[in-house]
Amino acid sequence: MALKFIIFLFLLFTISFSGSILVKEGESDIGCLLAFKRDIQNAPQVFDTWVGNFTRCPYSWHGIDCNYGNFSVIGVTLEGLGLVGEVNLSALTGLRMLRSLSMARNQLSGQPFLGVGAPSFWSLESLDLSSNRFSGALPFLLLRVVVELDLSNNQFTGAIPRTFTISFFLRTVNLSQNYLTGELPSLGELVGPDRSLPLQILDVSCNNITGPLTKSIGYYQSLRTLNLGNNGLSGKLPSELNMLTHLETLDLTKNEFSGTIPHSLKRFHSSFHPGNGMLRFPDSSARDSHGSSSHSISTERNNPHSHKSSRRVILTVVPVVLGSFIIIGLVSLAYWYRFKKSQENTEEYRIPGTGPDGLYIVTRQTVFPPEYDRPGRPRYRTEYSWVDGQLHGRGPFRTTSDDPLGY
């Protein structure tokens, strides 16, 4: 394995060294930039500054960064300028000290890597061609020391070269929203002596990548973001995912993975659905009679944690409801008792009269609540009737508290 690794490095060095002599001597940075400008069909005002007699780095040109030590071009930034044209990066290969190249968010098309050989862009560390209309295949041996690579939201096709995944410098790779096909490259034995790679962000979502996720994913132990969503990946998730201890963001949605989720990924509750209907958490039970797992990612309706939460809710709500009913009952009872106290209280007063058996007058007295004891408000009333079977009539009503009997 060590011998294969040494041979691989030797081949890279040989290709790079032999290719470096292909660069034409005397080709200036200005000549490379003007050749690139000729591929642009429209002429935005930013290119109005690309004039003048310069023998070295044109520091006054829009989007150009210079190294004032050796007066070479180290950066080209032409982002969001509405550039239109078929661009090939071969025009810029003469920028030997170029470190950063960004032409994101334009309308550029063509096959940017066509004819660009292995010796190109020896010093390039950052390449951003995102949000354009570029097409064609991805380069095989183009990017030696690139740290950040963003080719997202284009029309690239074909498979992902293995060299993209074994770079010892890449920290960020974004190939999302293209038309890439094939399987994810398997690293096999082509890794460093410590069997780990420094890649921190890998996004290949929204492509047509199929096949399994291999065990070699465990070599990316520095990964913080892994986005494989919206592809056609299938098979079981390898246990080597447990080695990604620095992982912060995970998206495996809209794939066809099956089996059991590795234990270390249980914290990513929403990273597996929609899609992956046959994927289960480690504590899931047997499949039900309908052929779907009782702990299926698509439902999670039998998750024991959900049952515990439901029981806690029930134990909290039931006492509150019962207490409310008790309070309502007590308040209703109090109002009923007060109403009864305010009802008519009847007392009989027998007053001697005349007649064979004596004449008696019965007085009914209705007592009103204290709040009615105000001037002009009746406090009680009295009515009179004969007893002994003969109704003689009713006495007058008392209207105020100081009104006499009136008969």
Nearest to 363 by CA among 344, 380, 384, 345: 384
In this structure, are 149 and 290 located in the same domain? yes
| 184-198, 221-235, 333-347: range with highest mean pLDDT | 221-235
pLDDT, residue 105, reads 96
pTM above 0.75, yes or no: no
Nearest to 74 by CA among 89, 88, 58, 90: 58
Residue pLDDT, tens place only, 160-207: 887 766 667 889 999 999 999 999 887 654 455 556 778 899 999 999
Q: Which of 84-93, 199-208, 244-253 has the lowest mean pLDDT?
A: 84-93
Q: CA 360, CA 352: separation in Å to the nearest integer?
A: 6
pLDDT, residue 335, reads 73
Nearest to 43 by CA among 24, 62, 16: 62
Confidence grade of residue 73 (pLDDT, cut at 50, 70, 90): very high
Q: What is the dihedral of CA 218, 220, 222, 225, to 10 degrees?
A: -100
User: Which CATH number do you get for residue 124?
Assistant: 3.80.10.10
pLDDT, residue 241, reads 92
pLDDT, residue 266, reads 86
Confidence grade of residue 339 (pLDDT, cut at 50, 70, 90): low
In this structure, are 136 and 46 located in the same domain? yes
Q: Average pLDDT of 341-360?
A: 46
Above pLDDT 70, what percent of the chain?
62
Confidence grade of residue 404 (pLDDT, cut at 50, 70, 90): very low
Confidence grade of residue 301 (pLDDT, cut at 50, 70, 90): very low
Nearest to 139 by CA among 109, 163, 121: 163
In this structure, are 100 and 239 located in the same domain? yes
Per the structure, the count of domains in the chain is: 3
Nearest to 31 by CA among 95, 101, 119, 77: 95
Q: Answer yes or no: are the C-beta atoms of 276 and 297 closer than 8 Å.
A: yes
If phi > 0 it is left, if psi is from -120 to 50 it is alpha, else beta; for residue 85 that is: left
Residue 320 has pLDDT above 90, yes or no: no
In this structure, are 297 and 333 located in the same domain? no
Residue 16 has pLDDT above 60, yes or no: no
Residue 358 has pLDDT above 80, yes or no: no
How are beta strands 133-136 and 107-110 bridged, if at all?
parallel
Residue 6 has pLDDT above 80, yes or no: no
Residue 155 has pLDDT above 90, yes or no: yes
In this structure, are 291 and 316 located in the same domain? no
Confidence grade of residue 108 (pLDDT, cut at 50, 70, 90): very high
Residue pLDDT, tens place only, 114-123: 877 655 678 8
In this structure, are 142 and 189 located in the same domain? yes
Sign of CA dihedral 285, 290, 296, 302: negative
Q: Which domain covers residue 356, as residue numbers?
A: 343-407
Higher pLDDT, 113 or 150: 150
Phi, psi (5° rounding) for residue 312? -65, -40
Sequence-distant (≥ 6) Cβ neighbours of residue 140 within 8 angstroms: 118, 161, 163
Q: End of a domain among 251, 273, 301?
A: 301
In this structure, are 328 and 184 located in the same domain? no
Residue 215 has pLDDT above 80, yes or no: yes
Residue pLDDT, tens place only, 262-282: 988 888 888 988 988 888 888
Residue 356 has pLDDT above 80, yes or no: no
Q: Please measure the distance between the N-terminal and C-terminal CA atoms of the chain and give it in whole angstroms.
A: 129
- DSSP letter (8 states) at residue 63: T
In this structure, are 268 and 382 located in the same domain? no
**Using CB atoms within 10 A of its CB, is residue 138 exposed (0-12), middle (13-18) or buried (19+)?**
buried
Q: Answer yes or no: are the C-beta atoms of 116 and 140 closer than 8 Å.
A: no
pLDDT, residue 4, reads 44
Name the strand (E) or helix (H) holding 30.
helix 29-38
In this structure, are 43 and 173 located in the same domain? yes
**SS3 (DSSP) at 309:** helix
If phi > 0 it is left, if psi is from -120 to 50 it is alpha, else beta; for residue 307 that is: alpha
pLDDT, residue 47, reads 87
Q: Which of 12-16, 57-61, 297-301 has the lowest mean pLDDT?
A: 297-301
Nearest to 8 by CA among 146, 160, 147, 188: 188
In this structure, are 84 and 183 located in the same domain? yes
Confidence grade of residue 244 (pLDDT, cut at 50, 70, 90): very high
Residue pLDDT, tens place only, 19-54: 343 334 334 889 899 999 998 988 678 888 888 777
Q: Which amino acid is at 405?
A: L
Residue 363 has pLDDT above 80, yes or no: no
Nearest to 138 by CA among 72, 69, 204, 40: 204
Confidence grade of residue 248 (pLDDT, cut at 50, 70, 90): very high
Q: Answer yes or no: are the C-beta atoms of 133 and 86 closer than 8 Å.
A: no
In this structure, are 227 and 100 located in the same domain? yes
In whole angstroms, how far apart are CA 401 and each of 340, 349, 361, 372, 378?
A: 22, 19, 21, 11, 7
User: Got the DSSP string for 87-133?
Assistant: --GGGGTT-TT--EEE--SSEEEE-TTTT--TTS-TT--EEE--SSE
Q: CA 333, CA 311: separation in Å to the nearest integer?
A: 34
- 274: cis peptide before it, omega within 30°? yes
In this structure, are 273 and 313 located in the same domain? no
